[in-house]
Structure 1
């Protein structure tokens, strides 16, 4: 079953103005999603909310059939179900491809559903179910019948919680833009009635045009949406955007999950803290997480004090940012930058959930090469941090294509919405350019052999488009090495260097770093501290050279004489910390 939980898919509630579009509301990808799920010549059934309003129900049937056709969805039959044919229509439910549950009075519709046996009949329905307003509310297992008629909020017999169809766990509050200011029986509908009812529960308030799509185990909200829970309300999604509320855990073979997407406990660290600690204690990084490196060393260098303003140029999972926020003790502000549109949203939500809202934290999707402009707009900053390592959640996710260890698309972009993929980039380069890139970005000793193999495969129509195909090309290029105990390790380290070199090229990482270093002094306040964590000798050379130059010019009054490395204990607990180097600088008092 594909379930659409809509507020109003055709127009705004209580608004007389006709919408500018014909058919269903195209905002928030509703039409796009419907067209992907809709069968040709679908048979449709509209189950009404007021079963005895025959004339109104006939008008609704005509309206929705017209709306479906104007949307460009083909239909062969469009029937209506009310008191005239309720039991008969439900017995024939499997003959339909689409069921539309109309809007109206929730308890009235709920009683009709009970009477005609819809709760049992709809189980296992293999088609599209679209709930509209009351129809959406009655899809829940336990329905929250938000009072709407005079007297319902004060009545001792009115039942606010009813048995529903059991199609979803989502309780939707429709028409939020219209009803949020309503007063019923002398009480504010939201603040005095709904908020108190939300303790121990979750309600999703949807303005018209927004909806929830439940499909193939995933529950996704499209458009502006609010979560009402524990007596409070907060915005969880904006118009034009979407977020996944729930995704069914995939089953796996054996006693322990092996694939990234199967490690469901590691993807929920707040819920499975014991599992997370076990993984970390073994020197591994839990799937979907990133363990921040040199945290204590960075805090010591930056010496953050309450009331100061700072910026984390590489927000990532937010580990460093969270610890820096703790140092502010509620006074001051931190800006967090990241280019990754996928992870930045998760991190913002994670930090907001810890109580760090817009008053103390501003999250911006931006490349840190723009530090000069950002410093002018928000700075100057008392402290600046840049962690140049790729986050573990990027490396470990096969869909991002960062690792040779797992099968995935050969992507390697830090921002998957911009630029060309690694597979596309290799097609742009000659054999000589590929060899030069491998040598310059990773000091690759087998650069010529690997470049020849990649270029040869491209010429033969076997261009590497996946991580596995690039790994195979590297292995083929090193086939001349003797088959001994060392070869496996050589191939492994070569793959690491090749993927690193291509990633640096695809994301222009050296050029971006140089731009950031050039703009850093202007972004720092007098006496401001900067800390940069590198993981590549080329990056460290650039940072060291820039810091020395600014020190000689008198821009910096102090810089790190030697790199700071993570402790042996940290390297034992986190294998990815081994190559980290920390350098710091202090801007001169002007």
Structure 2
């Protein structure tokens, strides 16, 4: 693990993606007093190095931010970065599908004013080469966002059967040559198991047809994405987190989500659509109150980075930002006990 002082330098260089847009979208919910409470409560579901949280805490002097991250190093470094805000910042080591439990502990009667999710791998993880997330640097094949839990990328690659491995690459990486790569991995591990990122990059490059290697950047990019998603169960966590986040908002609260690949964005879009559309059965002469939309879209479609943002932060190139406001309580017929639970931290 790199030193705190070195990572603090990285914190200073990190530019949170679409920070101004995120703040402006959350501002009406954060700054509006509710009942006797004149301060806002925000959950940053993907704390990372604390860039978005710092922006929120700086912009709104009375707001409280609760930051969630599964990476112990992120918790340590972001807490150090944000310690000047005192009791206005709290960090919780967990996955962000626990957002409802965090809201139950820190929110006002279990509800908060705004929630932010900045999905995917963090700059902290990408920039720390030894974590194994980057295909540009040699490192052990780990890729765990919490290095103390679950199986590593090396364990997954050297144990999963070829069919499941191909499915992971095809579904999570949208890799056209998934079976070719999976078969090459299985052949390789029969003599010498994969151990480093460089070995995986070389194996993928050798497995692909020549034409497929001429465009699209590093040919191992999709494979690394797929393995990382599988190791960290990212999509299943997201599928649970979005409805739990919506249920954790007060009426008038806002949820902002930044996605970086189509699988994430599809999950977010589908979850939002369920709350943006009326579910009144077709053929009825009027809209039923309990079937009216409980969400309002705050942006048209998905916001992308403009030229100014791209110049500031190259990692914003693939961002898709969606945002909604909760306009009423969740209809009973959409309540799913698997998503919404009453346990506490």
Which category of TM-score, normalised to the shorter sequence, fits these structures?
0.7 to 0.9
Pairing 1:316–2:41 present:
no
State the distance in 2 between where 1:475 and 1:332 align. 49
Q: Does 1:506 align with 2:245?
A: no
Report the counterpart of residue 290 of structure 1 in structure 2: 14
Deviations 1:226-272 (A, max 9, x none): xxxxxxxxxxxxxxxx99687xxxxxxxxxxxxxxxxx6xx554xxx
**How far, CA to CA, are the matches of 2:158 and 2:42 in structure 1?**
41
In the alignment, what sits opposite 1:469?
A: 199
Q: Distance in 1 between matches of 2:236 and 2:4?
A: 38
CA shift at 1:536, angstroms?
0.7
Question: Where does residue 393 of structure 1 map in the other structure?
Answer: 124
Q: Which has the larger radius of gyration?
A: 1
Unaligned runs of 5+ in 2: 32-37, 278-290, 330-345
For residue 494 of structure 1, report the CA deviation from its aligned partner: 2.6
SS in 1 for 2:219: helix
Structure (1 or 2) with the greater helix fraction? 2
Structure 1 residues 404-553: aligned runs within 5 Å: 404-459=135-190, 461-478=191-208, 480-481=209-210, 487-490=213-216, 492-552=217-277
Counterparts of residues 202-217 of structure 1 (less than 5 Å): none
Residues of 1 paired with 2:318 and 2:263: CA distance? 12
Is the Cα–Cα contact under 8 Å of residues 375 and 522 in structure 1 kept in the other structure? Answer: no
**Cα pair distance change 1:288/1:342, threshold 3 Å:** farther
SS of the aligned residue for 2:42 comes to strand
Preserved contact between residue 47 and residue 74 of structure 2 (Cα < 8 Å): no
2:58 maps to 1:326: yes
For the structure 1 residues 243 and 410, does the alpha-carbon distance in structure 2 shift closer, same or farther, using more than 3 Å as the test? Answer: closer
Structure 1 residue corresponding to 2:92, chosen from 364, 389, 409: 364
Please show how residues 17-416 of structure 1 align to structure 2 within 5 Å. 269=9, 289-303=13-27, 304-305=30-31, 307-329=39-61, 331-352=62-83, 355-357=84-86, 359-379=87-107, 380-416=111-147
Query: Are residues 404 and 288 of structure 1, via their aligned partners in 2, closer, same or farther at CA, if it must alter by over 3 Å?
Result: farther
Q: 1:493 to 1:287 in 2, by over 3 A?
A: farther
Aligned mates of 1:558, 1:472 — CA distance in 2: 44
**Structure 1: runs of 5+ lacking an equivalent:** 1-241, 247-263, 270-285
SS state at 2:137 partner: coil
User: Is the contact between residue 375 and residue 381 of structure 1 (CA under 8 Å) also seen in structure 2?
Assistant: yes
How many angstroms does 1:488 deviate by?
4.7
> Which structure ranks higher in relative contact order (CA pairs < 8 Å, sequence separation ≥ 6)?
2
Classify 1:573/1:298 alpha carbon distance in 2 versus 1 (closer, same or farther; 3 Å): same
**Cα distance, 1:476 vs structure 2:** 1.3
Partner Cα separation in structure 2 for residue 342 and residue 535 of structure 1: 22
Q: Deviations over 1:494-541 (max 9, x none)?
A: 311110010000000000001101211221011000100000100000
User: What TM-score, normalized to structure 1?
Assistant: 0.49
Gap change, CA 1:550 and 1:343, over 3 Å in 2: same
Alignment correspondent of 1:578: 317
Contact map agreement 2:302 2:321 (CA 8 A) in 1:
yes
Residue 558 of structure 1 and its aligned partner are, at CA, apart by: 3.5
TM-aligned CA distance change 1:477 to 1:245, over 3 Å: closer
Task: State the 1:302 CA deviation.
Answer: 0.8
> Across the two proteins, how many residue pairs are aligned to each other?
304
Retained in 2: the 8 A contact 1:551–1:559?
Answer: no
TM-score by length of 2: 0.83
Could you say which structure has the higher strand fraction?
Answer: 1
Shift of 1:452: 1.1
Q: Distance in 1 between matches of 2:53 and 2:11?
A: 20
